[in-house]
Amino acid sequence: MPDFRGMQALNAWLTGHDRGLLLQGPDPDSPDPLLHGIVIGQRPAPRSRLRRWDPVTVWVQPPPEDGSGVREPVRPLPPVRTNKAYLDEGGQDR
């Protein structure tokens, strides 16, 4: 088994899959996918002998929240648009 520590989580998962291993987080039922961050630990230890599709538990350090995501203005709010074709002159639905 390779040493996954220090690898990007997605690359570690792909490498494990290519070698017939199933990488999973410490809580396999967690809703969080094992895709982002750096692998900081694994069990069993690197260079252990495993059977095909045995699970390997990895711990991932999530990437820092540096605010480098989507840069869209949130203020001012866009104007509310109404479809006046559905309203009569009195403001009532037709």
Residue ranges covered by each domain of the chain: 9-61
CATH number 3.30.160 given to 9-61: no
pLDDT at position 26, please? Answer: 87
- Tell me the three-class secondary structure of the chain, residue by residue: CCCCCCCEHHHHHHHHHHCCCEEECCCCCCCCCCCCCEEEEEECCCCCCCCCCCEEEEEEECCCCCCCCCCCCCCCCCCCCCCHHHECCCCCEC
Whole-prediction pTM value? 0.64
pLDDT in tens, the chain (94 residues): 899 999 999 999 999 999 999 999 888 787 776 778 899 999 999 999 999 999 999 999 987 776 655 556 666 666 666 655 555 555 555 5
